[in-house]
Structure 1
């Protein structure tokens, strides 16, 4: 093998079922370690963010032969192990088990790892994810990403109890059809617990949101391109293609309630559902009608108009 392989492995080490990984991206998360290693066998433990630069990790396999299989594979492969395009150096660990750590995905936590089956990343917006999970409690943060397992998200709740309730109710279920684009057949949810307790969100975008920090910088280009496709059909604009309206409530001088919005929007047709949420320091609402023409009529009539004189408007 090339000289790069000689720096990637130590052939004189005694094999161990614990594999030591170095040169990881600093933001590497446990799920990425699992994605890299799981093809070689069952993973029973992980320990990440190790070392002075917090760019090392340990992964423990259930069986010694599984660890040998992984090390041997990359020792003989022309393609190095990589995470986020960065070469990961692999060797056997001096330890033979990881202590004081839990099996990944099994221990309840306040952050859920959600896999969206049957869809591409652009077919389920972060606003839809927020709406679905907010039904169980306040969602602090969301981070979405694409992995070998498909489109995934980390969803952070206030506490373990709320996250557990959401997992129990949603795991194996599908996102409601009215929240998906018309060309999407279905979207099933698979979830486990993440080892994270507090996600590091650097800015608001179509891939990440921090609902607890209204002063976080906004990636406006990403925001503009993300809001409407999941509420519309075939990627077209929500104004003409969806029975769900997204309303931004501005100049708010009175309390916003579901009853007030229901009264206003029911003047144009039967309102099926209403959801109110805070985002980027502003109040927004999703209003669902039974069909697209009714939603379009309500939008045309109400957009830019105040509900109260001197109050708030959409």
Structure 2
């Protein structure tokens, strides 16, 4: 029933039955409770039934009901956050499985953000050719989130517990369901431009992917072993791996203190990290970097969250940032520096990590940047890991490896 429009949709058993019904009422005026009604074919091929108590307000709301069609790949809270957060501040996300398929409720801080997200993302695909977004406004006023995990998240309350056992039902969430979900087609991919825009990625690498990179990996989690457990921590791992993609979360393994799990933004970024960091030396240890058997890291007290970190480098201009991906080199590049920075200050910042062979401060597009060359790749890697995101005269600096041979 479409009560707001005084209309209804009726699905017959097959097409001939629908044709017969339409032809029958072409010659006879049907009426219901004394009111004439009119029958015609609908553009919808099939209806998805849900509980009769379910409904959705037609008025714009800050909470969106999202149905995902043709879901060939797993969709988690983290994936949805990356897709929707560019359009406004996302407060809460709850996902659930209904007869209409995989659905999610996404609560924005403001109604306008939800309107913008729906206008931009409706009918788009998260990945090429699949995971199509069908977005409607929910009639709920506020989402109730009991756990922070891969199925639900309250970004305004990071201290919620992680669910340990079966997920309890969420009363009322199903009430926001759409009465029917039209199976659309087409739609450009969104959310992960690094996966959807292969041409832009290839262009960033000079026309093709680096040797050994397939671009088809789907595993997002990386296992790092042979770490120096006395000197490593989650932030240092973030500084190193965030060069190759966005970091969702990191977990140091308590039973294996020289092991860590790192969940990247997608499989392509994980593949870059494995390719470029395998065999790298950090804190006198040669790293082993491989794909993990775990598809994702379960959020918990022993994990560190980075999904919302503004230090992630691939939230905007993702394809452009791939051009800076490379194996560790002897030269590091420092950016977002104070405008009055001196070469001496730069050297003082990083010289504790190795012998500085050469350094240079320069200006590009009106912004101060610097290059520092060490004796070897290990020293440069340590400087990057320890000093990236550090504050210098009020500026949070960013460090990456330079592909220059010399300064």
Q: Shorter chain as normaliser: what TM range?
A: 0.3 to 0.5
TM-score normalized by the length of structure 2: 0.36
The structure number with the bigger radius of gyration is 2
TM-score normalized by the length of structure 1: 0.46
